[in-house]
Amino acid sequence: MLLLMILLFCASPRALGQVEESVFEDDIDPDWADFDLDIAPRRVPRQVKTILTKESKPHIQELSIKTTIISRYAFTAVYCAMLNRHSAATEGVFQFQIPTDAYVSNFTMIIGGRVYQSEIKPKEKGVKQGNGKPKDKESDGTRSESEVEIFRMAVKIPGRNRAIFLLTYEELLQRRLGRYEHVTSLRPLQLVSRLNLNVTIVDHSLITDLEVLPLRNGRSNGASIAATGPKIPAKTEPPVTTVVNNDKNVCKITFSPNIVQQAKIATNGILGDFVIRYDVQRDMGIGDIQVLNGHFVHYFAPKDLPVVPKNVVFVIDTSASMLGTKIRQTKDALFTILRDLRPSDHFNFVSFSNKIKVWQPNILVPVTPLNVRDAKKFIFMLMPTGGTNINSAIQTGSSLLRDYLSGPNASPNSVSLIIFLTDGRPTVGEIQSTAILGNTRSAVQEKFCIFTIGIGNDVDYRLLDRMALENCGMMRRINEEADASAMLKGFYNEIGTPLLSDIRINYTEDSVQYVTQHLFTNYFNGSEIVIAGKLTNQSAESLHVQVTASNNDKSIILETDVPLKHRQTETEKHVKAAAAAAMAAGAKAPGSEGSQRLGDALGSIAQDFVERVWGFLSVKEGLRSRLRSQTSKERDDHTQQAANLSLTYHFFTPLTNLVVEQPEVLADGTMAPAPAITPAVGEVVSAVNELPGDTEDATPKNQASLSNMIGNVEKKPVKKSITISKTSADGDPHFVVEFPLSKLTVCFNINGEPGHVLRLVSDHKYSGVTVNGKLIGAPAPPGSHKHQRTYFGSIIIVVDHPRRAYIEVTPTKVILDGRDRMVLPCHSTVGVDSGALSLAIVGNSNVTVSVGGNISFVILLHQYKNPAPYQKDHLGFYIGNSKGLSHNCHGLLGQFLYEEVGLAELPAQGDVKPSMVLKVKDRSVSVVQKSRRIYSGTQSVDCWFAKNNAAKLIDGQYEDYLMSHMFDTGDGPQGTNRV
């Protein structure tokens, strides 16, 4: 079940983008009501008023950002309401920075009251991408030190109108130096009337070391936790208005500066990064394993282990481009790293430009005061000059390590690595990336790892990324203007304290499948290993877990049996805590449309978070494996796997496109009229997310995109048993009719043909309601007496009063055409009020359609995860409230709503047993007693069954209820309600 069902908001004119005309007057200064400030205008300083009134671009009335972090997996929803105060159409730009390791899972725009829902589609070969796209991970070849990317969408907003932008993304927080760090970018590029940030952290373990940092801004101080090292600066104050409530396993952080407080931080709207750091209490042993709905996630971060000795070769770029700040900061970092080397370590330095220089030829030397002093001299004398010979530098460093490891002085359980730093592309010697990568693999021989660092904008990051991935290392990027010294020190701190090597984590054989990476070369102090997988046997009592690894001079074996049912209960408990905390956070944000709606919605996202972690890690692993592929078949296999998972979990990745239709704005600044049936035709914008250098991609089958909710909802519907009338058409299809006055229930089957459209309810002439259902076919199960089965594949409800509107429901989507046309996915939980019609979807469960206040229908969604050939996704139709339907109502179900029936027993005649007869109108129908299961099989109902396609039970014959098309509002031959 897809769980990012998270963006609810009210379908008032304000929420849907329409602005009351009364708040505008021509040729005068804008009314302060336009800005919708949280504070009285008289309290706004003149400088701020000047900034607001002179603002020509659309004004951001509200920016609400909500994050729920459940066991280190973060769901973030962004709500941005933007107002065009002018009469002419104006371009509005929605821009938001997201962490580069995160995946966007949804983007939606609501402009002029119309919904423009994005889709995640497979990337096609040779298709030129559109303009106006979100900036992708590699689009400009650079990445800042905080490793963010910019999602950007520009659209025309009609005059005197609002636009609402909704963005969601997900990420798994990485533990570095013993802390998790969550970063939210607050850079709206203007002062915002209402700014709200809510972060809720819920963890199975006790939350410790919680800290909210001062706002972090600019490239120079934007380094992540790795740059600052393990020590936390003393007496750091969180940003003004920040409120922190930490209660053991649940922590809530809010930040909501008003427009004046924002101006004191920055008048240009660039407030900076809101940074939260924390850790969780962990016990010695196997780690933390959580189980939910057939999936598990395993967090392994041992502590208090002796440090493993390391053998490290530093390979440093000294080409001419390193001259100035780069080489000075690099030297400063290396001096610090030398002080941090341990006596049991061995090391060496290689500098390279067009020539290669080795500090201590042919050997790695131990860490002694004399060797450290001589190394500092070597570093001090480094002078940038010449070109960049990356290939020879890697070959030289690898040769040093290989020779040392094959010699008598190498510790058998030590950790060996190369730290490679460059600011450019290969310009001397071998310059082809594929050749350099092949030569590197041959030189490394899987004996050690390579960690790469790129500084600046002129780096072949794809080369460095693949070099690290193919050789069990990591890659870091340092922006041109960043504090390279701090970044280098921080990166070394991450990998400078190895605790384990050759880690293997195994689970009970045949109990798990599709496990993410479970073999790891090294484990460094302060980091964390995360593994996720699927359980093949959810009813098993326990899961056996075994961890084997090497530590210093010995092998370590850890193993335990995890009680699955107990762990499932514990995981469910803290998932419920996350839901409650998210909804509570929204309730405490009065006056904020987006904040309150997002708070309610975020309470529902956690139901399958463990599966989302598995999907997230599986996509990441597939992309890494794709880069490491040595053959085209390997590459294609990994590409296909990662692309399919990206579509399944609706992730915008390098293998998918994010496509969103743009509104069509006329020359006079108004919206183009919406067509009655088809979506408005506008420019289609394809957002591209590239891996650098990609020239081909798989084209897996497209699936529905992740969607958010829209509409007028007081409280999110909860998935629960439906308590409605038994009068229904469900299954093959099986019809059930309840006669409350007669205290009888009657049932019958309709054996139609695929493609037939059946009239279920017909009251067109009176209440204006018509319900039609279309049959689909499926093979009969093995051993069945039937040749085929038929089900309802789509149901349409048409309303003609007070104006024409309709709702079409299929197992995957709901189309509502009322005031505006909306397409909503069935996996979302959403409520929409569209005047004549309103609906509420409970994701992957049911759809309730209401007409006025006295007619309602419930449509059950029957979906199969792994369907057999005879199983087809289909619908069940139930009448919830029929009070508003007239006594002239007809249709296969409608004709019985106001009838009374009687039951009589015919006496036995000869060998013939007594039989039962149902009296309907002036007809007698032979019936037998049966039992039917309804409401998705959750209830059974005893009923009197009429054979032969309900002959004599229904008016006329089955053929009389066949309609020419789904929108046919005529009636049967009886003549009632015929148009």
Quick one: pLDDT at residue 235? 56
Quick one: pLDDT at residue 860? 93
| pLDDT reading at 137 higher than 50 | no
Task: State whether the Cα torsion 216-222-226-229 is positive or negative.
Answer: negative
With vertex at residue 176, the alpha carbon angle to CA 172 and CA 180, rounded to the nearest 5 degrees, is: 50
Which tokens in the block code for residue 234? 């003393």
Query: Which of these ranges, 210-219, 359-368, 466-475, has the smallest mean pLDDT?
Result: 210-219
Higher confidence at residue 601 or residue 330? 330
* Cβ atoms 95, 107 nearer than 8 A: no
d(CA 332, CA 275): 27
Quick one: pLDDT at residue 315? 95
* Cβ atoms 947, 926 nearer than 8 A: yes
Buried/exposed 422-436: b ≥16 CB within 10 Å, e otherwise = bbbbbebbbbebeeb
d(CA 498, CA 523): 6
**What do you get for the CA distance between the two ends of the chain, in Å?**
43
Phi, psi of 349 (to 5 degrees): -125, 140
Residue with tokens 């961890």: 547
What confidence category does residue 115 fall into, taking pLDDT thresholds of 50, 70 and 90?
confident
SS3 66: strand
Quick one: pLDDT at residue 79? 93
Query: Which of these ranges, 16-25, 170-179, 536-545, has the smallest mean pLDDT?
Result: 16-25
Pairing of strands 874-881, 728-730: antiparallel
Quick one: pLDDT at residue 480? 76
What confidence category does residue 14 fall into, taking pLDDT thresholds of 50, 70 and 90?
very low
Which tokens in the block code for residue 175? 């533990």
Query: CA nearest 901: which of 927, 939, 940?
Result: 927
Cis before 673? omega within 30: no
CB-based contacts of 233: which residues, under 8 Å, 6+ apart?
none
Phi, psi of 332 (to 5 degrees): -60, -45
Higher confidence at residue 621 or residue 56? 621
Domains of the chain: 288-303+501-565 (2.60.40), 310-496 (3.40.50.410), 728-961 (no CATH)
Tabulate helix, strand, coil % of the chain (nearest 5): 20, 35, 45
| pLDDT reading at 77 higher than 80 | yes
Query: CA nearest 596: which of 33, 14, 66, 12?
Result: 66
Please write the tens of the pLDDT for every residue from 406-447: 888 888 788 999 999 999 899 999 999 999 999 999 999 889
Higher confidence at residue 542 or residue 25? 542
Query: Which of these ranges, 207-211, 283-287, 710-714, has the smallest mean pLDDT?
Result: 710-714
What confidence category does residue 220 fall into, taking pLDDT thresholds of 50, 70 and 90?
very low
CB-based contacts of 147: which residues, under 8 Å, 6+ apart?
99, 100, 101, 224, 477
CA distances in angstroms from 199 to 166, 168, 565, 590, 738, listed in the order given: 17, 14, 30, 17, 50
* Cβ atoms 512, 543 nearer than 8 A: yes
pTM across the whole model: 0.68
Q: What is the mean pLDDT of residues 684-705?
A: 36
Which tokens in the block code for residue 195? 């700014």
Q: Which of 230-234, 693-697, 866-870 has the highest mean pLDDT?
A: 866-870
Query: Which of these ranges, 429-433, 452-456, 695-699, 746-750, has the smallest mean pLDDT?
Result: 695-699
d(CA 362, CA 379): 18
| pLDDT reading at 549 higher than 80 | yes
Q: What is the mean pLDDT of residues 909-923?
A: 80
What confidence category does residue 231 fall into, taking pLDDT thresholds of 50, 70 and 90?
very low
Q: What is the mean pLDDT of residues 188-214?
A: 92
Phi, psi of 355 (to 5 degrees): -120, 155
CB-based contacts of 912: which residues, under 8 Å, 6+ apart?
none
Please write the tens of the pLDDT for every residue from 568-618: 888 888 777 777 766 665 555 444 444 444 544 444 455 678 889 999 999
Quick one: pLDDT at residue 129? 41
d(CA 694, CA 654): 9
Q: How far is CA 853 from the centre of its chain?
A: 36
| pLDDT reading at 964 higher than 90 | no
Q: What is the mean pLDDT of residues 37-57?
A: 74
Query: Which of these ranges, 50-59, 200-209, 316-325, has the smallest mean pLDDT?
Result: 50-59
What are residue 63's DSSP bridge partners?
A: 80, 195
Work out the number of other CB atoms within 10 angstroms of the CB of residue 344.
14
Please write the tens of the pLDDT for every residue from 750-799: 888 999 999 999 998 888 999 999 999 888 777 666 678 899 999 999 99
Please write the tens of the pLDDT for every residue from 868-894: 777 889 999 999 889 899 999 999 999
What are residue 357's DSSP bridge partners?
A: 351
| pLDDT reading at 36 higher than 60 | yes
Quick one: pLDDT at residue 710? 26
Q: What is the mean pLDDT of residues 196-213?
A: 92
d(CA 37, CA 194): 7
Which tokens in the block code for residue 639? 């590409």
Which tokens in the block code for residue 648? 């399944």
Query: Which of these ranges, 35-39, 294-298, 376-380, 691-695, has the smallest mean pLDDT?
Result: 691-695
Query: CA nearest 500: which of 414, 418, 412, 411?
Result: 414
Q: Please provide the average confidence, as pLDDT, over all residues in the chain.
A: 80
Quick one: pLDDT at residue 692? 39
Quick one: pLDDT at residue 820? 64
Quick one: pLDDT at residue 626? 85
| pLDDT reading at 28 higher than 70 | no
| pLDDT reading at 26 higher than 60 | no
Residue type, 146: S
Higher confidence at residue 202 or residue 5? 202
d(CA 538, CA 16): 44
Quick one: pLDDT at residue 195? 93
What confidence category does residue 702 fall into, taking pLDDT thresholds of 50, 70 and 90?
very low
